[in-house]
DNA sequence: CTGAAAGCGCTTACAG
DNA sequence: CTGAAAGCGCTTACAG
């Protein structure tokens, strides 16, 4: 691979001159410019982005850390999210380094990536990575709020407590009082917020949300989100009978629907089901079409990217945006006769 | 930002030692190791990926060059494609640099990206970039065949001529002889191959494919693929009447359907429509559900990534894979009464 | 097991 | 307008 040295030699100029011909950072005479381009053409020389990045400490690349399912497709949420990030970054001339590798927060494994800033999905509780990015001065924007809250870190998020609360109110308003909540994994801050929100809705009616009405997904226990929904309903419905279930995602709801069928329960007549995410495709294809919550993933992604661009200009800015979620009524929930 | 020098100084060792503690390339005594980790922790030091890449000439990143629509969502094809690439790369510990920036083939703009190899979508005719990658010795795999064909470049692709031929045969078999083909942009090799394929099917029955029956998408002329399908049908149906239209994509077909409605044409009774791509969501939601061709984008992406991994091991390997496309029958095509 | 030094391929004050 | 040289933060023979 030809380097800047080879070109300089062949063109009879210094490396500095070659550098400036390509970067146009300072003017180079037409004679020299021509000789440089000609030499570069002859040698098949193209500037090395890595060497350049090391020297100028800038890559024009944004990092996107987001685990995706090993097998099977990304969810609609993930896709929309990526789309939002990609579009916003492209507008600013940025490319995106997609890091879907399993997360490690072993500090001795952490490395300073070839990016000018990073967007990180689903921070965990006490996520060590946040502190590491701070230490190296890497601009960071979370999708999902930090936990514990930190006035110094930027993020965009739905108001998960509020969203779950609305769902709770809705279910209560149509007569459901015994609700099973198939929540996300307990180490996710969304799980915590949503449980709190649902509890709040019940509290408004003077009702508790007992622990046995809330389950958490667990990668060890459940083979897949769908399996989680399926097993959870099958098992809990033995001992106790609920009239409504709030599923973490459409996929979980898919399992719930299957279990209901096996138990001879009609949805929505015997059981109302609602999901806290909206995979338009999945939700519409289900029988019945699933009532759920639109999280506006594309907006989340776009806003995260936009904030990141701001932070790269000025490291001091901190933005904490909330994107409003809204209920999408389809046919899986129904008023319960008293 | 703390560097390896700072750590070395604080730990009282040489940079080489620090380097080896982190990379484990050669054994370092337990004493020194402890001091190094402790110093690193104190300083908030994390190895710099860029500097490392420059030194070892390896990034563990794969480049994916793929233009995506500025506004609006990626198509199902693009999403599946990315998903395939991402999963396969992750398996090998690679991350992916998504380059969706507009393509330039000005050689003076080209740069050697921080990647160990690249997957490039939709190569153009005489695509200069192919030659540039060759010159710098960067492993390259195309999605879509090179044009002109080149026994030295690796690619995965559908057999577009074959696929269009099958579509042609199918349409002929159900009685359609006057077919309008809304092809892709004429500078894409797929457009060429597909036109050839459709012509071949007609030729089998001794029929020609006259130029006026084939149109090409053009970014300048058409505001969007859907608009393209809409205008094309509206305009051509004035002078000549076809009984079937082959649309480049589901989106184009969407426009065709709209135009047909406005012209008072019933699909499929008066007009059969088929698309050369399968966005499951779109296609199923259309009225009527669209008959189309499944290109297996995820497989294309996964295979491209796999071949790239091979090439990075051994630069000499060349693979040219064909992924079989297949017809998906829905309800937009119908036998034409003679 | 460890260190000193050259090297990866660029950029950029500094001097002319 | 151009060059010589130090520097970006790592790695890796070479020598001990």
The β-bridge relationship of strands B140-143 and B179-183 is unpaired
| CATH of span A61-158+297-324 | 3.40.50.2300
> Is the CB of residue A299 less than 8 Å away from at least one CB of chain B?
no
Nucleotides of D under 7 A from a protein CB: 1-13
- Chain A: residue nearest B281 by CA? A281
Q: How far is B337 from chain A (nearest CA, A)?
A: 34
Interface of A with B in 6-25 (CB under 8 A): 22
Nearest to B236 by CA among B256, B206, B209: B256
Q: Answer yes or no: is pLDDT of A257 > 80.
A: yes
Asked whether the beta carbons of residue A113 and residue B79 sit closer than 8 angstroms, the reply is: no
Q: In the predicted model, what is the mean pLDDT of residues A57-71?
A: 92
Which residue in the set B46, B73, B101 is minimally distant from A132, CB to CB?
Answer: B46
Nearest to B182 by CA among B143, B127, B222: B222
Q: Are the C-beta atoms of B119 and B308 separated by less than 8 Å?
A: yes
For domain B160-295, give the fold: Rossmann fold (3.40.50)
Q: Answer yes or no: is pLDDT of B337 > 90.
A: no
* Dihedral of the alpha carbons of A325, A328, A334, A335, in degrees to the nearest 10: 50
% of chain A surpassing 70 pLDDT: 99
Domain with CATH 1.10.260.40 in chain B: 4-47
Q: What is the pLDDT of residue A71?
A: 77
Q: What confidence tier does B328 reach under pLDDT thresholds 50, 70, 90?
A: very high
The Cα B249–Cα B247 span in angstroms is 6
Domain with CATH 3.40.50.2300 in chain A: 61-158+297-324, 160-295
Nearest to B114 by CA among A101, A95, A16, A85: A95
Contacts of A63 (CB under 8 A, 6+ apart): A96, A97, A99, A113, A115, A117, A118, A119
pLDDT of A79-132, one tens digit each? 999 999 999 999 999 999 999 887 776 888 899 999 999 999 988 888 899 999
Instruction: Classify burial at A96, counting beta carbons within 10 Å of its beta carbon; exposed 0-12, middle 13-18, buried 19 or more.
Output: buried
Q: What is the pLDDT of residue A75?
A: 85
Q: What confidence tier does A270 reach under pLDDT thresholds 50, 70, 90?
A: very high
Residue B323: C-alpha distances to residues A255, B299, B300, B326 (Å): 33, 8, 7, 10
Which residue in the set A41, A93, A114 is minimally distant from B53, CB to CB?
Answer: A114
Superfamily assignment of B4-47 in CATH? lambda repressor-like DNA-binding domains (1.10.260.40)
- Chain A: residue nearest B1 by CA? A136
Interface of A with B in 102-131 (CB under 8 A): 107-108, 110-114
Q: What is the pLDDT of residue A320?
A: 97
CB < 8 Å to B112, chain A: 1, 46-50
Q: How far is A168 from chain B (nearest CA, A)?
A: 30
Q: In the predicted model, what is the mean pLDDT of residues B256-260?
A: 94
Q: What is the pLDDT of residue A1?
A: 84
Residue A89: C-alpha distances to residues A75, A85, A93, A95, A117 (Å): 21, 6, 6, 6, 11
Separation of CA B39 and C1' D13 in angstroms?
A: 27
Q: What is the pLDDT of residue A163?
A: 96
Query: Which nucleotide shows the minimum CA-to-C1' distance to residue B56?
Result: D11
Interface of A with B in 172-211 (CB under 8 A): none
| CATH of span B61-157+297-325 | 3.40.50.2300
Domain with CATH 3.40.50.2300 in chain B: 61-157+297-325, 160-295
Instruction: Classify burial at A258, counting beta carbons within 10 Å of its beta carbon; exposed 0-12, middle 13-18, buried 19 or more.
Output: middle
Nearest to A159 by CA among A290, A301, A323, A332: A323
Q: Are the C-beta atoms of B272 and B174 separated by less than 8 Å?
A: yes
Q: How far is B113 from chain A (nearest CA, A)?
A: 5
Asked whether the beta carbons of residue A50 and residue B112 sit closer than 8 angstroms, the reply is: yes
Distance of CA B104 to the CA centre of its chain: 17
Mean of all residue pLDDT scores within chain B: 92
> Is the CB of residue A280 less than 8 Å away from at least one CB of chain B?
yes
Residue A306: CB atoms within 10 Å? 20
């Amino acid at each position: 691979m030809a380097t800047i040295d080879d070109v300089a030699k062949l063109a009879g100029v210094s490396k500095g001159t070659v550098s400036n011909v390509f970067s146009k950072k300072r003017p180079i005479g037409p004679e020299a410019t021509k000789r440089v381009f000609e030499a570069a053409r002859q040698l098949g020389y193209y500037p090395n982005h890595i060497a350049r990045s090391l020297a100028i400490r800038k890559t024009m690349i944004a990092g996107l850390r987001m685990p995706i399912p090993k097998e099977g497709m990304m969810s609609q949420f993930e896709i929309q999210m990526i789309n939002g990030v990609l579009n916003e970054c492209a507008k600013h001339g940025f490319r995106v380094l997609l890091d879907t590798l399993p997360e490690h927060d072993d500090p001795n494994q952490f490395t300073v990536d070839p990016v000018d800033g990073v967007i990180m999905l689903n921070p965990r509780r006490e996520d060590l990575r946040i502190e590491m990015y701070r230490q190296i001065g890497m601009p960071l924007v979370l999708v999902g709020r930090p936990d514990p809250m930190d006035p110094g870190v930027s993020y965009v998020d739905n108001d998960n407590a509020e969203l779950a609360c609305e769902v709770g109110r809705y279910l209560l308003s149509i007569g459901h009082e015994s609700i099973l909540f198939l929540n996300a994994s307990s180490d996710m801050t969304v799980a915590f917020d949503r449980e709190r929100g649902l509890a709040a809705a019940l509290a408004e009616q003077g009702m508790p949300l007992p622990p046995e009405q809330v389950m958490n997904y667990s990668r060890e226990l459940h083979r897949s989100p769908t399996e989680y929904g399926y097993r959870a309903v099958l098992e809990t419905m033995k001992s106790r009978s609920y009239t409504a279930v709030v599923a973490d995602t459409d996929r979980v709801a898919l399992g719930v629907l299957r279990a209901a069928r096996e138990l001879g329960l009609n949805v929505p007549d015997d059981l109302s089901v609602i999901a806290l995410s909206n995979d338009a495709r999945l939700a519409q294809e289900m029988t019945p079409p699933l009532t759920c919550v639109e999280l506006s993933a594309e907006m989340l992604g776009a806003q995260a990217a936009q904030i990141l661009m701001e932070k790269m200009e000025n490291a001091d800015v901190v933005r904490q945006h909330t994107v409003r979620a809204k209920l999408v009524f389809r046919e899986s929930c129904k008023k319960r006769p008293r």
